[in-house]
């Protein structure tokens, strides 16, 4: 309704999943190889993953394929730990690794550890409690983005009142339409080259978050392929 379009008419193909259980390092490499192949075929990749480690390989591939790239992270957590649980490729290290490939802008963060603070770029992180009081910060976040943008969405960025099905839910997330319309503005003003949606932890008793995750993906595709 919002875009008066049917994004599926552009063609959507779901490829075989990567099921890597050995190490996070191996998962990162496998995802990297797959995304490089898709980009070489001129596809628009949408990555649907378990934990945020999935994004690291994808971001590495996009950073090598596109110049002038910024990573836009929508997440309740900063994910700037250098090492966690013995690995630098743990989901808590996702943005620490991403920052090695491209500049990052972080939106919706409301949880981090003291050890992450030295790695925070204060003019490029937009905390949820600040966004609550000052909506103009979304425009400031937008201004930090370069011409090409990759969006990584940890579903815990949304308030657990609508998205409880995550491994580490955090209260105080921005409302659904507020975040979606921010992403719409990003897609209208920048070249979004791909995105991922991660950290859905499905519940047997509450299916609503599963549909919300699917809706977010389709909504972003609708923005990307219907707005001039």
Question: For residue 67, what pLDDT is reported?
Answer: 96
Q: What does the pLDDT look like over 75-134, one tens digit per residue?
A: 999 999 999 888 888 888 999 999 999 999 999 999 999 999 999 999 999 999 999 999
**SS3 category, 58:** helix
**SS3 category, 129:** helix
Question: For residue 227, what pLDDT is reported?
Answer: 57
Going from the N-terminus, what domains does the chain have, and what CATH number goes with each? Answer: 59-226 (3.40.800.10)
Whether residue 228 is predicted with pLDDT greater than 70 in this model: the reply is no
* Cβ 151 vs Cβ 164: under 8 Å: no
Residue closest to 131 by CA, chosen among 105, 149, 169, 165: 105
Q: What does the pLDDT look like over 14-70, one tens digit per residue?
A: 999 999 888 899 999 999 999 999 999 999 999 999 899 999 999 999 999 999 999
| Dist CA 218 CA 197 (whole Å) | 11
């Amino acid at each position: 309704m919002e875009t008066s379009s049917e994004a599926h008419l552009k063609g959507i193909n779901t490829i075989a999943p990567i099921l890597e259980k050995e190490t996070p390092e191996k998962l990162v490499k496998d995802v990297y190889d797959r995304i490089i192949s898709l980009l070489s075929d001129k596809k628009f990749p949408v990555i649907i993953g378990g934990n945020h480690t999935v994004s690291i390989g994808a971001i590495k591939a996009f950073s090598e394929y596109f110049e002038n790239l910024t990573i836009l992270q929508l997440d309740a957590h900063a994910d700037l730990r250098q090492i966690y649980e013995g690995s630098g490729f743990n989901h808590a290290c996702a943005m620490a690794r991403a920052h090695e490939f491209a500049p990052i802008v972080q939106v919706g963060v409301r949880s981090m550890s003291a050890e992450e603070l030295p790695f925070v770029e204060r003019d490029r992180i937009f905390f949820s409690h600040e966004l609550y009081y000052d909506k103009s910060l979304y425009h400031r976040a937008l201004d930090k983005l370069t011409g090409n943008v990759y969006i990584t969405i940890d579903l815990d960025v949304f308030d657990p009142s609508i998205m409880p099905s995550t491994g580490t839910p955090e209260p105080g997330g921005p409302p659904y339409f507020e975040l979606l319309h921010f992403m719409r503005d990003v897609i209208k003003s920048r070249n979004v080259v791909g995105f991922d949606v991660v950290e859905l932890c499905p519940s047997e008793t509450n299916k609503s978050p599963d549909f919300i995750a699917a809706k977010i993906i389709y909504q972003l595709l609708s923005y990307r392929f219907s707005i001039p």
